[in-house]
Amino acid sequence: MKIVLAYIAAVVTAYVAAVLAYTQLNLANVVEMGLPVSFKDRIGAAGHDLIGMASLYLPIIAVALLLAFGFTAIVLRWVPQLRTLGYLLAGFVGIFVVDYTLGALLTGGTHPLAVTRTTIGLLSQCLAGALGGYVFILLSRKPE
């Protein structure tokens, strides 16, 4: 049960971090165009995106982390001392693979999540996955 709760917390953390990064990077583009964006606008947009993207992006992140963490658990049977690095990389790479796959297979090379079309945007999503991996590490530790 502890592993399941750690996984759920990791997915929620990665989702929230990814969406917040997505929102703020998109708003940075709006500011770059010369339009003002207030703090209230930023909070409102973040709340809107957290709710609005949940039906599509949350399941995508859940599947990405499930596959990545499952693969990592298998690999860690041989190198358990790399647990922390393994799950950090699993979160990072899991999100990268999903973003790449969605872009390559479903849309003919165009990333469906606009923010991942830039290096900083893709990196922000991958780092959100790594943060999810870190939460998983912390919450799934066996008591010493």
**What are the residue ranges spanned by the domains of the chain?**
2-139
The candidate with the shortest Cα–Cα distance to 142, out of 56, 77, 83, 75, is: 83
50 CB-contact burial (10 Å; exposed 0-12 / middle 13-18 / buried 19+): middle
What span, in angstroms and rounded, lies between the C-alpha atoms of 75 and 65? 15
What span, in angstroms and rounded, lies between the C-alpha atoms of 16 and 63? 15
Q: What pLDDT band is residue 117 in, cutting at 50, 70 and 90? A: confident
pLDDT of residue 34: 87
Q: What pLDDT band is residue 29 in, cutting at 50, 70 and 90? A: confident
pLDDT of residue 118: 84
pTM of the full predicted structure? 0.91
Is pLDDT larger for residue 100 or for residue 73? Answer: 73
